[in-house]
Amino acid sequence: MNTALELTDIHKSFEVGTVNENHVLKGISLTIQKDDFITIIGGNGAGKSTFLNSIAGNFPIDKGYIAIDQVDITRTPAYERAKYISRVFQDAKMGTATRLTIEENLAVAWKRGKKRGFARGIKESQRKIFKEELTKLDLGLENRLKMEVGLLSGGQRQALTLLMATIVPPNLLLLDEHTAALDPKTSEMVMNLTDRIIKEKKLTALMITHNMEQAIQYGNRLIMMNNGQIVVDVSGAEKQQLTVPDLLNLFKKNSGQAVTEDALILG
Amino acid sequence: MNIILSSISQGLLWSIMAIGVYLTFRILDVADLTTEGSFPLGAAICGSLLVNGISPWIATLLAFIGGAAAGLVSGYLHVKWRIPALLAGIITMTGLYSINLRIMGQANLYILGEGTLIQSVQDLGVSKTVAVLIVGTLAVTLVIGLLHLFFHTEIGLAIRSTGDNHAMSEANGIRTGSMKVIGYMLGNGLIALSGALLTQNNGFADISMGIGTIVIGLASIIIAEVFFHRLTLAKRLLTVVLGSIVYRLLLLLVLEMNVDPQDLKLFSAILLAIALGLPAIQSRLPKLTSTKTKGGSLS
């Protein structure tokens, strides 16, 4: 009843039949409850982004089953999944249209997954909502509705992308290392904003991060991926008491190898 | 003076072609060579209908629809068959050469003495040049006004967003393929409309009149962008009209210098190459250009 997303035995390989054949996802199964905020961590090549892209529908999966709110979306193209799923990318340039204004970007997001017709793209009633929501970001963007997004800084754009992804609450929010490309101060600002919005709007979210501290600090459940599989899955009280050394030990116990990437340990 | 006015009036008619090119080149961000076929297609449809005594209104409208159909073919080839945009345009353009010959029945078609939109304005008692100015101004105003309205609808925003950021548009549930096809259709419809109007202005349609149109269209756009930065869509389209007129005046100037008309295409090609290369040339001369501040701090 309270299942938001169900993934069963997901497999994905790239460049099948060539010497570069790469079996990235090796049978991932996961059930996500409504209001879960799950952080995903793992080294380079663990399959985190491929996992998120599979859910978003950027490419068809080779094997497995994906259902969102009990609806089978395994074969649904990305633009139709947008009805349920919204996302924020790592690259701030990916989430917004640079030559469109702030309000035009928000208007595009406002119709996410809905039919678009010949009605006016931005109505006065929407503009009011955009203004209110932008005010909550506390970046002064509410006074710059007609400014081209290309003129904003990376942090401002990422905050706007986050607002676009959540202005109409999605069934599932996907965050793909969305603070990784920002400087530490901006990264923290965007992360706090993310946490606040997820709590306020009671969103179900999956967040990839490269930073163990962040993975532990945020969310109610933590998943660690290695070599295309889930090797650690902790939630609830266990997750709350988790420390970085605990996580390293869990990883070692479950995967049979130690974490060797400095980036992962040091954040 | 009259020759300048005449260049301006022709620039107005040509500007509709440049606006069509702008839709694919800047809004969709694809270089669409269908232009070279859809422009004479509009001329051929309009010319042969006029010769057969059809009302110029209907002939002009059908030229637009014919151009949109050509855009549909290119758009479909590009989106559904995943043929690179340049090649899709070349394929359609090549096919259109035969189709245009079939429509006209011969390599050129004279429509002197047939009733045209320009003739019907002239009948009100004004000179040819003034009539072309009136028709051109009305057509340009109508086109820009409708495009302004269209590109601010939900679908219009979706088309602009698709050309700007494909991944973001898809993530927001926009059917990017369909949006591109609509853009192709609109753009080539306008290009054919321009062909139809110029046929009525020139009094003939010619199978080779499409050669170099993409260069003319791009040159008009680049001229507009060199002089004016960061504009809203409607204002940008207005500057493209200005660009088209400036381009016609430049051609006039070159002709006045007793350059052989045969060499005009070479002149156009060189002009466009320089205009497109200007940013790169400027960046090699850092002292001459103002330094733009990039990045900046957060919030």
The residue segments making up the domain with residue B10 are 2-210
CATH number for position A44: 3.40.50.300
Q: What is the pLDDT of residue B248?
A: 92
Question: How many other C-beta atoms are found inside a 10 Å radius of the C-beta of residue A243?
Answer: 11
CA-to-CA dists, residue B79 to A78, A108, B49, B76, B165, angstroms: 16, 21, 32, 5, 16
Contacts of A136 in chain B (CB under 8 A): none
Q: Which of B164, B172, B299 sits opposite A139 (nearest CB)?
A: B299
**Mean pLDDT for the stretch of residues A191-219:** 93
Tokens of residue B228, six digits? 């004016």
Q: Which residue of B has its CA nearest to A96?
A: B168
Q: What is the pLDDT of residue B295?
A: 42
**Mean pLDDT for the stretch of residues A20-47:** 91
pLDDT over 80 (residue B287) = no
Q: How confident is the model at residue B21 (pLDDT cuts 50, 70, 90)?
A: very high
How many angstroms separate the CA atoms of A135 and B99, rounded?
57
Which of helix, strand or coil describes residue A112? Answer: coil
Q: What is the pLDDT of residue A261?
A: 64
Question: How many other C-beta atoms are found inside a 10 Å radius of the C-beta of residue B150?
Answer: 15
Q: How confident is the model at residue B226 (pLDDT cuts 50, 70, 90)?
A: confident
How many angstroms separate the CA atoms of A95 and B103, rounded?
47
Q: How many domains does chain A have?
A: 1
Contacts of B170 in chain A (CB under 8 A): 78-79, 82
Closest to B39 in 3D by CA, of B241, B210, B205, B204: B210
Q: Do residues A152 and A186 touch, judged by C-beta distance below 8 A?
A: no
- Answer yes or no: is B163 within a domain: yes
- Are A89 and B230 an interchain contact pair (Cβ–Cβ within 8 Å)? no
* Chain segment B171-218, per-residue pLDDT in tens: 999 999 999 999 999 999 999 999 999 999 999 999 999 999 999 999
Chain A: closest CA distance from residue B161 (Å): 6
Contacts of B146 in chain A (CB under 8 A): none
Is B180 an interface residue toward A (CB < 8 Å)?
no
Is B292 an interface residue toward A (CB < 8 Å)?
no
* Chain segment B233-278, per-residue pLDDT in tens: 999 999 999 999 999 999 899 888 888 888 888 888 888 888 888 7
How many angstroms separate the CA atoms of B10 and B12, rounded?
5
Closest to B215 in 3D by CA, of B235, B189, B244, B245: B244
- Are B170 and A98 an interchain contact pair (Cβ–Cβ within 8 Å)? no
Give Cα A158 distance to the centre of its chain: 12
Q: How confident is the model at residue A263 (pLDDT cuts 50, 70, 90)?
A: low
Q: Which of B152, B173, B295 sits opposite A120 (nearest CB)?
A: B152
Q: What is the pLDDT of residue B294?
A: 41
pLDDT over 50 (residue B296) = no
- Answer yes or no: is B216 within a domain: no
Q: Residue B80 is inside which H or E element, if any?
A: none
The residue segments making up the domain with residue A30 are 3-266
ipTM for this model: 0.88
* Chain segment A129-175, per-residue pLDDT in tens: 999 999 999 899 999 999 999 999 999 999 999 999 999 999 999 99
pLDDT over 60 (residue B289) = no
**Mean pLDDT for the stretch of residues A185-214:** 93
Is A155 an interface residue toward B (CB < 8 Å)?
yes
The side-by-side arrangement of strands in the sheet containing A22-33 is A22-33, A3-14, A63-68, A71-72
Ramachandran quadrant class, A69 (left: phi over 0; alpha: psi -120 to 50; beta: rest):
left
- Answer yes or no: is B241 within a domain: no
How many angstroms separate the CA atoms of B183 and B163, rounded?
9
Give the burial string for B110-121 (b: 16+ CB within 10 Å, else e): ebeebbbbbbeb
Contacts of B174 in chain A (CB under 8 A): 79, 82, 108, 116
Chain B: closest CA distance from residue A28 (Å): 23
Which of helix, strand or coil describes residue A25? Answer: strand
* Chain segment A44-70, per-residue pLDDT in tens: 888 899 999 999 998 999 999 999 998
pLDDT over 60 (residue B95) = yes
- Answer yes or no: is B69 within a domain: yes
**Mean pLDDT for the stretch of residues A82-102:** 92
- Answer yes or no: is B259 within a domain: no
Which of B29, B165, B235 best probes binding to A when mutated, by most A CB atoms within 10 angstroms? B165
- Answer yes or no: is B256 within a domain: no
Q: How many domains does chain B have?
A: 1
Q: How confident is the model at residue B293 (pLDDT cuts 50, 70, 90)?
A: very low
